[in-house]
Amino acid sequence: MKRIGTEKSKLAAADAEAAIGLICSAMDVSLIVDTKGVVRKVSCDKVELCTSKASGRCRWVGRNWVDTVTVESRPKIDELVRDANAGAPPRWRQVNHPTAQGEDIPIMYCAIRLGESGRIMVVGRDLRPMATLQQRLVSAQLSMEREYGRLRQVETRYRMLFQISSEAVTIVDASSGRVVEANPAAAELLKTPMRRLVGYPLSDRFDANGQAALESLFAAARVSGRVADATLRLADGSREFHVSASLFREDKAAYLLVRAAPFRAADAVGASDSRVLDVIDGLPDGFVVTDGEGHVLSANRAFLEMAELADEQQALNGSFDRWLGRPGVDLSVLLASLREHGRVRTFTTSIRGSHGAQTDVEICAVATPRGKDTRYGFSIHDVSPRLASAPRSEEALPRSVQQMTELVGRVPLKDLVRETTDMIERLCIEAALELSGDNRATAADLLGLSRQSLYVKLRRYGLGELEHEAVPN
């Protein structure tokens, strides 16, 4: 019997040691301390916590457990040892251990008295992973709060713009066609109180034709996802609207953004504009539209033929000055006159083709201001046939100052000066003949010429009947 009792006690002691070993392996820190709180054994996975770098040995063995913690944690250690010695129910307490790096390590401890031996077993769990998770949780929460605040600001701005917008806007459920939201401008434009608009089908606001057109409009927007538009009339027939719809998705639901504006006659000129453009493109005279700097925005076929261009794209965005007869001069004069007077009736110049052809033309122009932008229209009339029907011989002289100015840029200056001198000389001879009653001798005296010189000039300019009259010596 004595042997059996001894074996049982040995077995119990072995089981206790195994249990202690199992508990120590499951915990980050395990200590055995005596009743006075002196550390006797240490099992620690956290090497930086209790091991000296110099010797590689445990720094805690033989020291008071209370000396291994920070100042604010000392009362907690004393309380743990006191409760364990008194056999009180164990409870967990968090304490902090200082390290050589200056960072405190938080450990959650629980102390249990080991039977009648008087020793206390202390087990602890490292709280740093939990602290890291808590920090991440806090960071995520702060980030979510920032995003939520940003979304609230965006929603506030959207609501403000939606409410104060002068454009009538409604948001319609794409599946049911019922109005989800509407701004005050939409309620006013549709002549419907807000309480009778939100939650009701938008098609109820229009007549039978308008309802069918609206359904077709919604169907087109749902299929293509692009903006579609239509013209509708109110149910009472008092007003027409230009309505457009575009599809968007939110929270797995599809909605239509519907905008409405009063129908104006100007909105219906699309077909008329097309016909006008067809007429302009078929004109025999060239027609060019430029911006305020003279860059070509549009040109018809007649101008393309004068400029020897294959298509309109070759002319677009190029300077109109590129094809005028006097580069750097004609366009500047035209634009200056247009800015000052708004129109130019007749401006004589030429159009130079890309392959060297030159066409004599007369240009009429007009300025059309539109807000901050101004457009200039140029009508270009080909006068080459008219000039060809009345060819100018070398002896033919201009009859007026206007004709002389038309020659600027097309005739060299020396030739222009010579022709100007001849024109003045002829005018003076005609005046002398008129004053003298066609008496050549008197006319020669008036001009200070000899009769022989006068007859030479008369023959040169074709003045008088000199075919059978001999020139005096």
Within 13 Å, how many C-alpha atoms sit on residue 127's CB side? 17
Judged on CB neighbours under 10 Å (0-12, 13-18, 19+), 403 is: middle
Whether the CB-CB separation of 342 and 357 falls below 8 Å is answered with no
How confident is the model at residue 387, as a pLDDT?
66
Where do we find the tokens 């030479």? Answer: 456
Contact 105, 126 (CB under 8 A): yes
Is the separation of the CB atoms in 180 and 198 below 8 Å?
A: yes
As given in the structure block, the two tokens for residue 416 are 């222009």
pTM: 0.37
Which domains are seen in the chain, by residue range?
Answer: 23-126 (3.30.450.20), 165-267 (3.30.450.20), 270-389 (3.30.450.20), 401-461 (1.10.10)
In sequence order, which residues have a C-beta less than 8 Å from that of residue 144 and are 6 or more positions away?
A: none
- What tens-digit pLDDT sequence spans the chain (473 residues)? 344 344 444 444 445 555 555 565 567 888 889 988 898 888 877 666 776 655 557 778 888 989 889 999 999 999 999 988 888 888 899 999 887 777 888 889 999 888 777 788 899 888 888 888 888 998 999 999 999 988 888 888 888 888 888 888 899 998 888 999 999 988 888 888 888 888 888 888 888 888 888 888 888 888 876 666 777 778 777 677 788 888 888 878 889 888 887 765 445 445 455 677 778 888 889 999 998 888 898 899 999 999 888 888 788 878 898 898 877 778 888 888 888 888 888 888 889 888 888 888 999 999 987 656 788 999 999 888 776 665 544 444 444 565 566 666 555 677 677 777 877 888 888 888 877 778 888 788 778 888 888 888 888 777 765 544 544 54
What per-residue confidence (pLDDT) applies to 464? 66
- Cα end-to-end distance, the chain, whole Å: 184
pLDDT computed for residue 406 by the predictor? 60
Let me know how long the chain is.
473
